Amino acid sequence: MKKKNIRTKGKLSFSEYFKELKEGDSVAVIKELSVASNFPERLQGRTGIVESKRGKAYIIRLNDLNKEKRYLIEPIHLKKLKTA
């Protein structure tokens, strides 16, 4: 995703910014373009599991090039996935 739709450019959804996730939730890493991110570009679209919360961000456990790694990502860049 390179750019946002013109109607949503520069706007933030506060419900997305302050959303609460629980330990064990499955999430996808989707970068919000209007907020600076501090995770590598190759994580865009990957799925992981919420381990815990640290400050206002979450520790996400996911596989990166066949190795299990943990990343600290803010909730605005995470999308909760439905589990069956």
14: left (phi over 0), alpha (psi -120 to 50) or beta: alpha
Indicate whether 8 belongs to any domain.
Answer: no
In-domain check, residue 37? yes
pLDDT in tens, 17-54: 889 999 999 999 999 888 888 888 889 999 999 999 99
Show the domain range for 41. Answer: 14-80
Running DSSP on this structure, what letter comes out for residue 58?
Answer: E
Tally of structural domains, the chain = 1
The predicted pLDDT at position 1 comes to 63
CATH number at residue 75: 2.30.30.70
Please check whether residue 76 lies inside any domain of the structure: yes
